[in-house]
Amino acid sequence: MKVSSTIIWFRQDLRLQDNAALQAALERGGAVVPVYILDEEGEGRWPMGGASRWWLHQSLKALDASLKERGSRLVVAQGKSLEVLRKLVKETGAGAVYWNRRYEPAVIARDKVVKASLAEHGLEVKSFNSALLNEPHTIVNKAGGPFQVFTPYWRHCLSLETAEEVVVKAKTFPAPERWPESVEIEALALLPTIPWDAGFYAAWTPGEAGAKKRLGYFLKKLAADYGEQRDLPGVDGVSRLSPHLHFGEIGPRQIWAAARAQGKESGVFPANAGVQTFLKEVGWREFAHHLLYHFPKTPVQPLREEFAEFPWASDPGGKKLKAWKRGLTGYPIVDAGMRQLWATGWMHNRVRMVVASFLVKHLRLSWTHGAEWFWDTLVDADLASNTLGWQWSAGCGADAAPYFRVFAPVLQGVKFDGGGEYVRQWVPELAKMPDAFLHAPWEAPEEVRLKAGVRLGENYPAPVVDHKTARDAALEAFKALKAERPA
C-alpha cells in the first residue's frame, strides 16, 4: 500500500542534519514536502524585526539549495499557518504533518490550535525537539517548579544524559509526483528597501554550511582561549553562533557532539576549560527558554513584580533614547557597541551588558525600550535570550544582576578594550585619540583633543549624562524600590 506524503513544516530549524522532524518524515516513507510559512500574525506581538528578516531571507535560500541537492525543494508560502497547511494537505494528499517545537508563548498557543485542527481531520500530526538539550517542561526543581537561578538549573541539567544528535543519512529525499504552489523567497519582501544591510554581507554567512564552518573554526582555533578572550570585543574570540542557533541552522546537540568529539581526541571532555565555559553559555540559552516557557509574560513584564513600579526617568522628545540608539552618548565603548549593532546586526556580549546597563541605570530608561530596539536590530534576536538579558541587566528578572551593579563605561572600556581596537573601528572620529584618553575624551586637555581632530559637541558628542551623578540617582531609585517591598 502506497504511503501518503508527509509535510515537514520548517520554522526555526532551517537545517537538514539533527532535524528530528525531518528524519521522522523520511522514516515514515512516502514523499516528503518541505514547507516554510511566513506567518507574522502567528508570532503574536513579536513578529521578526528588520535584521532577523534579512537573515531569514539568506537562510531560506541556503535551505532551498540544500534541499535541491537532494532532489527536493522548499515550498514557500505566506499567511496563517493553519490555513496554508490545510491548503497544502489538500494539494498534496498528505497524511501527516511534522514539525519541531518552539517555545514562545504565542507560538505554543498557535501550534496547539494547528495540531488539534489537523488531527480532527484525520491527519497524523507530530512535533519533535530539535532546538534544546532539555525542553522546559522536562526540568523542575526539588519543589516541582521551575528554576529561577542559573547555577542550580545548569547543575541539574549536567546531571542528565545528553540526547544524541539525529543523523539524517538520506542522500536524496523522496519528492511528490506534483509539487504544490510556491512563492519565490523574494516575494516575502524580507530584505530592506533602503540598503542599511550593506555591512551584513561581509559579516555573516547564513545557512547550515556557514554554521558548521564557524563551529569548526571556533572549536579548533578559538575555544581553548575562550575563557580569556570572550570579554575582549576588539578580537575574534567568541563563537558568533547565536544567529545560527536562533534560526536552527545548527542545534545544541550538534555543538555538544562536536565538543565531545574534540574532547575524545585529547582524552578529556570537554577538551579544555575554554570549551567548558562555552558550553555553559549554551546552558544560558537553555535557561532563557526555560524561563520564557514558565513565565510567558516576561517579554513585557518584569519577573519580579515590584519592578512594575520602578521610577523610570523622563526623556522629553526621546532625546536620550535616540542618542543611545544612534551611538551618540559621548561614551565611546557604548557608542562603539551601538554602531556595531547597526552596521552588522550583532554586538559583542560584553558590550551588550555595558550598553544595557547604560540605558537602564545611567539614562534610567525602561529595559523594554532596549529589548524592542535589540529585537529589531539583532540578527540573533531571540525572544527568550533577549528577555533574559534585558531583565538581568535591569535587575528585575531571574538570577538578575544586583541593583548596585552599575557598569562604569569608562572602566569597562579601559579594562576590555585597553588598546582601543574596538572603539577605533566603530567610532572612527576618535581614531587618533591617545589611549590614555580614548575612553573618556572629555578628560583630555584641549590641545590633545584638537591634535586628534576631536571637537566635543561638534564631531563627537559630550557625555549625555555625568557618570557619577547618573549612578547615584540610579542607586537611590533602586534603594527606594527595595525599601518599599513588602516584608
Annotated binding residue at 226? Answer: yes
390 among known catalytic residues:
yes
Which residue among 135, 342, 349, 372 is the active-site one?
A: 349
Which residue among 54, 154, 346, 367 is the active-site one?
A: 367
The answer to whether the peptide bond before residue 270 is cis (omega within 30 degrees of 0) is yes
196 among known catalytic residues:
no
Which residue among 91, 124, 281, 429 is the active-site one?
A: 281
312 among known catalytic residues:
yes
Q: What is the CA radius of gyration of the chain?
A: 24
Annotated binding residue at 382? Answer: yes
With H, G, I as helix, E, B as strand and everything else as coil, classify residue 9.
strand
Rounded CA-CA distance 364/366 in Å is 7
Which residue among 196, 284, 342, 442 is the active-site one?
A: 284
DSSP assignment string, 27-48 = HH-S-EEEEEEE-SGGGTT---
Residue with cell 493553519: 82
Burial of 235 (0-12, 13-18, 19+ CB in 10 A): middle
Which residue among 91, 124, 135, 312 is the active-site one?
A: 312
Rounded CA-CA distance 253/165 in Å is 5
Closest CA to 254 of 170, 168, 172, 173: 168
Rounded CA-CA distance 396/307 in Å is 6
Phi, psi of 439 (to 5 degrees): -90, 0
Closest CA to 243 of 50, 101, 378: 378
Task: Tell me if 393 sits within 8 A of 376, measured CB to CB.
Answer: no
Which residue among 9, 346, 373, 390 is the active-site one?
A: 390
309 among known catalytic residues:
no
272 among known catalytic residues:
no
Rounded CA-CA distance 96/5 in Å is 7
Annotated binding residue at 358? Answer: no
Q: Which residues contact 194 (CB under 8 A, 6 or more apart)?
A: none
Task: Tell me if 375 sits within 8 A of 49, measured CB to CB.
Answer: yes
Annotated binding residue at 380? Answer: yes
Q: What cell numbers appear for 77 in the block?
A: 508560502
Q: Which residues contact 88 (CB under 8 A, 6 or more apart)?
A: 7, 33, 35, 75, 77, 94, 180
Task: Tell me if 407 sits within 8 A of 353, measured CB to CB.
Answer: yes
CA 117 to chain centre: 31
The annotated binding site is made up of 226, 278, 380-382
Binding residues for FAD: 226, 278, 380-382
List the catalytic residues: 281, 284, 312, 349, 367, 390
